[in-house]
Amino acid sequence: MSRPRVKDLQNDLAVLGYYHGAIDGITGGQTKAAIRRFQSANGLVVDGIIGPMTLEALDKAKARRHHEQGSKAIKAGTGVTGTGAAADVIATAMSSLDHVANYSGVIQYVAIALIVAGVALTLWGIYKGYEGRTVREV
CA–CA distance, 10 with 112 (Å, rounded to integer): 30
Q: At what angle do helices 52-75 and 84-96 cross, to 10 degrees?
A: 160
Contact 90, 74 (CB under 8 A): yes
Using one digit for the tens of pLDDT, what is the confidence trace for 93-138? 665 555 554 455 666 677 787 888 878 778 777 766 665 555 555 4
Does the reported pTM lie above 0.85? no
Give the pLDDT of residue 43. Answer: 94
Contact 60, 96 (CB under 8 A): no
Residue ranges per structural domain of the chain: 1-50, 59-138
Contact 90, 116 (CB under 8 A): yes
